[in-house]
Amino acid sequence: MRTSDLLHSAVVALSANRARAALTMLGIVIGVASVTLMTGIGASMEGVILGQVSVLGPDSMVIFLGKGPEGGTPQARSGFDSLTFEDVEALQKLTTVTGVAPVILITSKVSSGREEGEPQVIGTTPLYFSDLKLTLARGRLLDDTDLAGAKNVAVIGPDVAADFFPGGDPLGRKLQIMGRSFTVVGLLEAAGSAFFTNLDERVYLPLSVAKSMTGQNYLSVISFRHTGDAELSMADVKALLRQRHRIQNPADDADLDDFIVRSSDQARELFGTVSFGLTAFITLIAAISLVVGGIGIMNIMLVTVTERTREIGLRKALGATPSDILLQFLAEAVALTLTGGCIGVVLGIVFAALISLGVGIVLPEYGFALNGVAIVVAIVMAAFTGLLFGIEPARRASRLNPVEALRYE
């Protein structure tokens, strides 16, 4: 039997009972739509997550505070404070490290006239702006003279400008932080978020000023760039800090260190792995409905074989071979699942687009995305489901005795 004849016979048979065909396809539609939707959400979330680390250049690395074996905060530890200014001086001497930018985080309210808020206040050096690829919109960035002279100047993000100086030019205006008055000398371009922190809602001060304001003798973060080999640079940094902090850690156990070193590639890999794992898990759960839909197809096809026993007998009496009957019922099962799969893909895309519109209102970084491979796999799985669960009904139909089939009432 030709393929065109098989398809025509399948369409005619399914059209004879559209309501049953639609209900039979429902499980496949739900399954494929779920897979399409979940993988689409996963792709969108992966884009959001990876976008959080994209602000770091490919050669950027960051050192965070860690708990170490003693636990607690740096102030609570005896002997030394983690990530000190002396650590920065030592890091700058490493041949595999360049562009070291220490950071002190300041927790304080910020005010200007009647406006008051709590943007993130950061004390740092000029190198920090290049490490995070922050670009200037107007004015100037912090420079070495600001650090050396401990000048009360600030560079702000666009959200800070909108909150504290709505409708006006922020350059030359004043911000009050911890009882000090700072002159705004620079406005940054919008940068979005990084590590789920809004970069546009920040105030940047000279590191020397932040140190004197807080009296803090340790650093919150140190960012730097490696000179070529990220692994070699990371190994050098860990070895140096362990030596300076008197940490014995020959097994490279992260729990023993009082610091954490991360590269941009590591962050991308980590977030990508987490995103993939969640997407795979959710998709697996959604794919279970394909199996449920397949069982429904097998059940309906078995009923169909019984109802069409006389038709099968007549076809065999007219010369149809068992393989013709087998292929005919398999074609009907596959046609059901493929049609349901296509409908499911369309519904999944529509729902994914609607969700992206809704989520995009509160999370602008969330964009509409689809996993093309997953969609193709879902359709192939749907077709395979039709073959798998359609074989037994088709085999039974092909083995019917034509004489007994013609006598069936």
pLDDT of residue 99: 83
CA distances from 121 to 210, 339, 367 (A): 9, 57, 29
pLDDT in tens, 239-294: 999 998 888 888 888 788 888 888 767 666 766 676 677 667 766 766 677 777 77
Sign of CA dihedral 145, 160, 49, 257: positive
Q: Which of 1-5, 51-55, 277-281, 359-363 shows the highest mean pLDDT? A: 359-363
pLDDT of residue 78: 41
CA 2 to chain CA centroid, nearest Å: 47
Q: Per-residue pLDDT averaged across 136-161, rounded? A: 94
pLDDT of residue 29: 86
Which H or E element spans position 282?
helix 264-307
Question: Among all chains, which residue has been given the structure tokens 């409905």?
Answer: 289
What's the CA gap between 262 and 275, in Å, rounded? Answer: 18
Residue 173 has pLDDT above 90, yes or no: yes
Residue 21 has pLDDT above 80, yes or no: no
Q: Shortest CA distance to 311 belongs to which of 16, 1, 83?
A: 16
Backbone angles phi, psi at 289, to 5 degrees: -65, -25
pLDDT of residue 77: 45
CA 361 to chain CA centroid, nearest Å: 18
Question: 36 with 352: CB under 8 angstroms?
Answer: yes
Residue 233 has pLDDT above 50, yes or no: yes
pLDDT in tens, 281-328: 766 766 677 777 777 777 777 777 776 677 767 777 777 777 777 777
Which H or E element spans position 163?
helix 158-164
pLDDT of residue 188: 94
Q: Per-residue pLDDT averaged across 228-247, rounded? A: 88
pLDDT of residue 194: 65
Helix (H, G, I), strand (E, B) or coil at 217: coil
Q: Per-residue pLDDT averaged across 177-189, rounded? A: 94
What's the CA gap between 295 and 54, in Å, rounded? Answer: 45
Instruction: Please give the span between the terminal C-alpha atoms of the chain, in angstroms, as a whole number.
Output: 27
377 or 257: which leads in pLDDT: 257
pTM to 2 decimals? 0.63
- Identify how many contiguous H helices and E strands the chain contains and give both numbers: 13, 14
Residue 50 has pLDDT above 70, yes or no: no
Q: Which of 5-14, 102-111, 369-378 has the lowest mean pLDDT?
A: 5-14
Residue 14 has pLDDT above 70, yes or no: no
95 or 58: which leads in pLDDT: 95
pLDDT in tens, 85-113: 899 999 999 988 888 999 999 988 999 98
Residue 214 has pLDDT above 70, yes or no: yes
pLDDT of residue 72: 43
- Report residue 74's pLDDT band, with 50, 70 and 90 as the boundaries: very low
259 or 402: which leads in pLDDT: 259
Q: Per-residue pLDDT averaged across 174-193, rounded? A: 91
Q: Which of 57-66, 204-213, 282-291 shows the highest mean pLDDT? A: 204-213
The percentage of the chain sitting over the pLDDT mark of 90, rounded to a whole number, equals: 23
Q: Shortest CA distance to 218 belongs to which of 105, 131, 129?
A: 105
Residue 148 has pLDDT above 70, yes or no: yes
Which H or E element spans position 198?
strand 197-198
Q: What is the mean pLDDT of the chain?
A: 79
Contacts of 99 (CB under 8 A, 6+ apart): 127, 130, 131, 223, 224, 225
Residue 80 has pLDDT above 50, yes or no: no
Q: Are strands 136-139 and 153-156 parallel, antiparallel or unpaired?
A: unpaired
212 or 55: which leads in pLDDT: 212
